[in-house]
Amino acid sequence: MRLCRLRHSLAVTLALAAVTIALCPWQRAEGSINSNVGLNNWGWELGFDVARDTGVRWHRGPDARWAYMEPIAPVNGTHSWDEAQFTEFRNKALAVLDHGLQPLGSIGGTPCWASLGDVDPILQACSAQTPCPPNLECYAGNCRRCENGVPAQGYWEDFVREVVSRNKDIIQHWEFFNEPNAGCSATNAGFFEGDVTQYVDFVLVPGADAVHDECPTCKVVAPGVHNLGAKVVGVGQCANQSGLDWLDYVLAKARSHIDIIAYHNYRAADNGFVSEMEAIRQKMLDYFVPLWDGQSGVPVWLTETGYSNGAPWGSPTGTEQQRYYIHRVLQEMVSRTWWSTTIFFAAFDTFQFANKEGTATSDVDWVLVDGGWAPTPAISTHNRTYAPKPAFFWLQQAVHQEPYFGGFGAPRLSSKLSW
């Protein structure tokens, strides 16, 4: 590691590891690009800094949102792509790379003109003079939430090919929609309003074929289901949809289209988390999916997991519980070769959309740092300031010191992290 100038150095004392290390917030450790750990980030610029500063490799995002990138239906087979939106997407991916991270790109967000239906309730009338609230589209005189709609075949594949063809030089891993089995509430049908058969037939299979046709070396990461999902069964009505049940159907019908199995597991680290992961492994064996052995097979990526320091199941020492959760997840991961990558939620999630949506904030208890409003001591990078939580320091230490996660220490499971 090159020496940092004193004013940029960060001295971190970890009670867990009982060691003190000096790291540059803006500098990656040699070899850490091979890390099999990552972070979700919906805070963009500040989140880029946080992810880079931990030393992780993977960055989940950016999102290619079809509704914004092709808001107008094709005419006589000619697409009207929004070039500004395509440029914005690519610039975000380039920013990920510029921070020493590898992007996991996401494609979704059906425009109303391409949606096969919309079971979300109509919230209000709209017009050019009375626009819709954020996340809603004015279509046929009413505010609709179409981005979770089942996409029309043909158009969906065209969009996937267009996104991949323009960005395959910088993004090699792609997923479709977020948690397609989850997100149902009384006022919307979740991230994807279709059922599992529609997800396979209208999204996964044609989307994966489009990715592989356009970029044979690219990887499809799917299905990215939540362990405890809920789906719409009527306007304002939801029903539980187990992630394992969805995974079972996906593997039965479309396993040859998936390069990496993605799952979101938010069970408590000491209460059901491990059994959920082992159930994924058993599903793979049931459908004769070769397990990843470090060289070949189909790996499992945990593309979302995390702990809210203000979660209902948390304790008064929430930030320490968040650190403990990350510790336990990585501890379980290192003993399972088939589970090759974990992308935690989240680097940062207070953000300002650079498109039509204005400003929104959410999920601040889940992230690894406090930002803007945070107390000192804080790290300042590129005039963006954040205050790390204990989980940040522990993850940084793990990635930089533990060889299994890409660090340069030895041996494979060192005593430095008190495994």
Q: Which tens digit of pLDDT belongs to each residue from 207-241? A: 999 999 999 999 999 999 998 777 766 655 677 77
How would residue 350 be classed by pLDDT, with cut points 50, 70 and 90?
Answer: low
Residues 6+ apart with CB under 8 A from 280: 244, 247, 261, 263, 300
Give the mean model confidence (pLDDT) for residues 115-133.
Answer: 75
Q: Pick from 349, 343, 345, 342: which is nearest to 386 by CA?
A: 349
Q: What is the mean pLDDT of the chain?
A: 79
Q: Pick from 235, 75, 80, 105: which is nearest to 171 by CA?
A: 105
Whether residue 113 is predicted with pLDDT greater than 70 in this model: the reply is yes
Whether residue 94 is predicted with pLDDT greater than 50 in this model: the reply is yes
Domain ranges for the chain, please list them.
29-108+151-417
Whether residue 315 is predicted with pLDDT greater than 50 in this model: the reply is no
For residue 255, what pLDDT is reported? 96
Length of the chain, please?
A: 419
User: Rounded to 5, what percent of the chain is helix, strand, coil?
Assistant: 35, 25, 40
DSSP-assigned beta bridge partners for residue 379: 386
For residue 153, what pLDDT is reported? 87
Whether residue 143 is predicted with pLDDT greater than 60 in this model: the reply is yes
**59: amino acid identity, one letter:** H
For residue 310, what pLDDT is reported? 61
Architecture of domain 29-108+151-417: Alpha-Beta Barrel (3.20)
- Give, in degrees to the nearest 5, the angle at Cα 51 between 46 and 52: 95
Q: Which residue has the higher pLDDT, 264 or 148?
A: 264
Whether residue 385 is predicted with pLDDT greater than 90 in this model: the reply is no
Q: Which tens digit of pLDDT belongs to each residue from 237-261? A: 677 778 999 999 999 999 999 999 9
How would residue 408 be classed by pLDDT, with cut points 50, 70 and 90?
Answer: low
